[in-house]
Structure 1
């Protein structure tokens, strides 16, 4: 699919798109409608008339279900996407005899590389007078501090030339300034700090609105640095992303509906919030010790009849729950590169992704469960996960009842519960007194080796296979199978 418009047409052909003809406001009304539709699992929405913004239409709930995302990306399993870069890495030549056999794989890599183009439809129109007021940004909850860009594709490169396209909410201060909520552990924050240390002055930044579904998913994905996220977009999409270079030098998706060009003054900071977040609580600036950079919008480019895409969050399960599940599947193969013992992972939708993770492993030695707990907390965005439960490979992490049984059966709290005090946590966690400093909980619910039980051996009950064989005909007669 070339862009967001193709995706909307595809959704409509599947009867997964609601068109709303009545005029609604982007302040509270559209977000409330989107939440109700998502809670009812009724599909995506396209608002044809937007109060105060006659030039625009608004799309929402584009990530209707994991199954829809999978089919849109054209794969049998979402894990295939995470396997693509790994297969190419495996084929890199290690010696002279390997070089010829690797040429086909290197050509395959070229299919995923981004491509620079000289034209983009969004350059047809431009607004330079208070450009942020031109955009139908949402006010999603009554006590939000302002209107917000809630799914902006923040585009930038760091001083090393690594390109990024990421989603950070942006609170609009006025028609020309907004506050970018990139937390200290995010790529944007690190690039900003590098600019401050090396160059000072202005860091070129652009905000793209809307793109194809693969690029939208890439932007919110925890791609490990220093992998170029514009390259990773090619792996997710299945083909290289076309890019357009703005006058300020920033590369943006050529298929965007609109692009806001500007910069961050690297030493200009501001409070941000309140904002009703995905935990279902207001994230207030008075509760955290963080300030965020101010984005200066110089102009906005936009396509004819542009479509704004905004996501809404609140108590789960909303659109971000689908996004989280898709990311879970895509990044499982990459997690296994770091921890080969990992069998599967589940971020339960009511665990709001960063809150709870359940991981099954092939346990090989005493203490292996705790080793995995500590390793996960030291790996990428898993560093923010508050509660991790590790189970043995025969326990399905997606079956909560099996997980509860494993906790009840294999956990001796004084031995198997690990609490990490005063650890860096998700700055949005409503349970933490002084975010982003909180604590973490690890539960080793794996089956225990004798060494971990002081020699005690606990034997599980098992059916007699011969008895089951004799009863097989009766099972079929009375139970149908």
Structure 2
């Protein structure tokens, strides 16, 4: 399904387009953000349903709640205005990997390239719809009574912002970090779940090393869809996330500068302004994307809120996590497709990659390669474990390029027929892991499993040639296929083996 190129100015335009195409349903029954709306969103996603707009939010007159707005990859393509998500990845590659200009013609072309990059840079504006309604935090008793934050599961002690864009700037360069972290809502402050290996924690550490007692920060809820997606992308530090959003979107986003100096998307529905402090507070338990309440309860930085900006007739966007497949799995597949060209550029032998939805993104990766030399599969494992957040991936399976990584049965065949466990399975202890992984005894510290399911070269197989696969000539495959289809025996006939 091909979507025409659309550039959405805010979340509302995107929701209107979804509804126009029959991809959004309205719920008029009064439901609460405390357990009820999250359960509704889970049931809709598990049944393959559409995006949902809740129009009657119990306890929050005037609010609407949107969810499952990235219900499948087709929604994401609409949000980004592309037929093939990999095109965005190649756009990034073309900007980053270009030869230096030598001739006058090449230098003029380089000037054109610079102007092209300028198309994607953020544009500062003095007007933003969210500034029309400003609430000083001292005037309220509980933030959760102002914003319909979710409580997803019964053991969660407080409501959570489940898809907030947490924004901070580098203390010296001004590079913007804008990422999605869960945020626990307390009476007049917030607890930001900055994980050990993520960009937010890195920015936090850099500010502290400069002796800062508090870090200017902002939290955005709801924005135009490309910016929302980029918030969840593992963009390499120190690339500016606002610039990255412009590249993904195809044009720069408008930003508004808050009093604390932080720039936020002007399309935001809600903006929370404040300062992240050195003070820590207990956070959790929280029902996370692995399908468990995370363990153990830990301390994270407190964000002191100064004011809250809210658009008129606001739309709250929240996601839910839990046992797959939920909306976060779709965003994970989006990352997979957009970042594949970058991985291919760094590792040309890579043919394709799959983050299986039930592998909860950092649990398992399946990668196919064009194998050239002994040990090639293990080299690719090591390289992937050294790339950004792929360093947190627990299990990597490597197969040959003619195995479809998205067909789990082909992968099972490759593992079953190509793997000798003693020779082809490696375990690496004492490595970084996802802090939320319920299987490791120490959060963020565990081990890796690598499975080389490629056909083995003689050097890898004690000098023995790999056996020949069965197959028949292509001409015979095609001739028999036509006979069977003509006779109406079967449809969509597949050959009995690889052609010769």
Range of TM-score over shorter length: over 0.9
Kindly provide the CA deviation profile for residues 325-345 of structure 1, in whole angstroms up to 9, marking residues without a partner as x. 111101111112221211111
Q: State yes or no: 1:87 paired with 2:130.
A: no
Q: Does 1:23 align with 2:34?
A: no
User: Would you say 1:205 and 2:213 are equivalent positions?
Assistant: no
For 1:201 and 1:74, the matched residues in 2 are separated by 42
Q: Shift of the alpha carbon at 1:199? A: 2.8
Name the count of aligned residue pairs.
476
TM-score between both structures, scaled by the size of structure 2: 0.92
Within-5 A mapping of 1:5-84:
5-84=12-91
TM-fit CA distance, 1:173: 2.4
The CA deviation at 1:468 is 4.2
What TM-score comes out, normalization by structure 1 length? 0.96
Deviates more, 1:126-135 or 1:78-87: 126-135
Deviations 1:260-287 (A, max 9, x none): 000111x21122110001111001334x
Partners of 1:182 and 1:50 lie apart in 2 by 29
Q: Within 2, Cα distance between the matches of 1:170 and 1:374?
A: 33
Give the direction of change, closer, same or farther, for the CA distance of 1:5–1:455 in structure 2 (3 Å limit): same
Q: Distance in 2 between matches of 1:101 and 1:38?
A: 47
Aligned counterpart in structure 1 of residue 471 of structure 2, from 449, 458, 462? 462
| Map of 1:388 onto structure 2 | 396
Deviations 1:57-116 (A, max 9, x none): 111111011012112311120011111121123446433432112233222212111111
Equivalent residue number for residue 272 of structure 1 = 283
Show the 5 A alignment for 1:126-275: 126-128=134-136, 129-130=139-140, 132-133=143-144, 134-159=146-171, 160-174=173-187, 176-265=188-277, 267-275=278-286
Does residue 1:418 correspond to 2:418, yes or no?
no
SS of the equivalent of 1:276 reads coil
CA distance in 2, matches of 1:296, 1:215: 25
1:307 equivalent to 2:286? Answer no
Cα separation, partners in 2 of 1:370 and 1:55, compared to 1, 3 Å = same
Residue 262 of structure 1: SS of its match in structure 2? strand
Distance 1:466 1:296 in 2: 71
Q: Distance in 2 between matches of 1:83 and 1:446?
A: 27
d(CA) in 2 for partners of 1:27 and 1:281? 19
* 1-structure distance, mates of 2:61, 2:485: 65
Q: Unaligned 5+ residue runs, structure 2?
A: 1-7, 494-500
Contact 2:101 2:110 in 1 (8 A): no
For the structure 1 residues 471 and 16, does the alpha-carbon distance in structure 2 shift closer, same or farther, using more than 3 Å as the test? closer
CA RMSD of aligned residues (A): 1.6
CA distance in structure 1 between the aligned counterparts of 2:416 and 2:120, rounded to whole angstroms: 47
Conservation of the 8 A alpha-carbon contact between 1:272 and 1:285: no
Query: Larger deviation: 431-440 or 19-28?
Result: 431-440
